[in-house]
Amino acid sequence: MVYTLNKKAALEIHKKIFLIRETEEKIAGEYSNQKMRCPVHLSIGQECVPATLSHFLNNRDFAVSTHRGHAHYIAKNGNLKKMIAEIYGKVTGCSKGKGGSMHLIDKSVGFYGTSAIVGNSIPVGVGLSYTLLKSKNKNLSIVFLGEGAIEEGVFYESLNLAAVKKLPTLFICENNSYSVYSPLNVRQPKNRNIKEMVKSIGVSSLESDGNDIKKVFSACKKGIDYVRNNRKPFFLLFNNYRWREHCGPNYDNNIGYRTEKEFRSWKKCDPLLNSYNLLKRLKINKSIIAEIEKKQTFKINNAFKFAEKTKFTNKNVYILVIQNIWNI
């Protein structure tokens, strides 16, 4: 299939960027009401990669993600009502209200889960790609990870297996520079080049700006085409930045691990603003954009209303889980 960043593609990508941004902004705005009884890891500022990648995927492609997985779930067309209901702890949630924000799943669209444990979903995604070895179609498995997961042993084991077995796996690494509050330069050697390190393991790789839609589109196209056509793994490294705190709805520039100057510098690279600028260059009528955003806003509000009115998961479920763990 030939992919071009034309007007139709740009509008589809904008729709996803807007949907992800506004969903998470509403989560942040509603969080203080204490109806979402679970931690949330927001990806505001990092919407470009999942939104753009989604243009190349279908429901038969697999995907797994991390604790910061809302954007990936939404981009893979996961059910938004079920995601919000899950965050609210409701039985109508995608994990029946038992998993919360860090345990999202929608197998109907090929989204096989997020995990609270750093690096935990990487071998799952590689395992899913193993099931595609004998498949006659060109489907693949997407493994979303942050650069912090590169410091986990399972990353190297999984990458090695994908290389040795020639598995159709596309690794999408979003480097937002921080693992919680620790910058990359205190966690990894000064001269380490992640892209080249991955190549040394035997997996082709490419690094790109993670906020520029054209660059992300080009990188995703190269990675997708490589995996679909060669049935081998590929690693895409995108550099972007999370705006909010590591865990929670607030900004945290005041606590000292990053500066206001750094934050403002990255904020100028806003994926949503970049999307508006792209649509302007493509001379897309503002009324078309407004109508798309109106529909997405309606979708978001409906999802929150749905979550509010449905029932909580039976607390006895949690009691049974604890009893089974402790044999009481």
Residue 239 domain flag: yes
Please check whether residue 192 lies inside any domain of the structure: yes
Residue 128: inside a domain: yes
Tell me if 2 is assigned to some domain.
no
Q: How far is the C-alpha of 18 from the C-alpha of 25, rounded, in Å? A: 10
| Model confidence band, residue 315 (pLDDT cutoffs 50, 70, 90) | low
Residue 1 lies in a domain: no
Q: What is the pLDDT of residues 85-137, one digit of tens each?
A: 999 999 999 999 999 999 999 999 999 999 999 999 999 999 999 999 988 89
Quick: pLDDT tens for 197-234. Answer: 999 999 999 999 999 999 999 999 999 999 999 999 99
Q: How many domains does the chain have?
A: 1
Please check whether residue 290 lies inside any domain of the structure.
yes
Q: For 154-182, what is each residue's pLDDT tens digit?
A: 999 999 999 999 999 999 999 999 999 99
Domain containing 279 — which CATH number? 3.40.50.970
Residue 175: inside a domain, yes or no? yes
Range of the structural domain that residue 225 is part of: 7-326
Q: Is the pLDDT of residue 326 over 60?
A: no
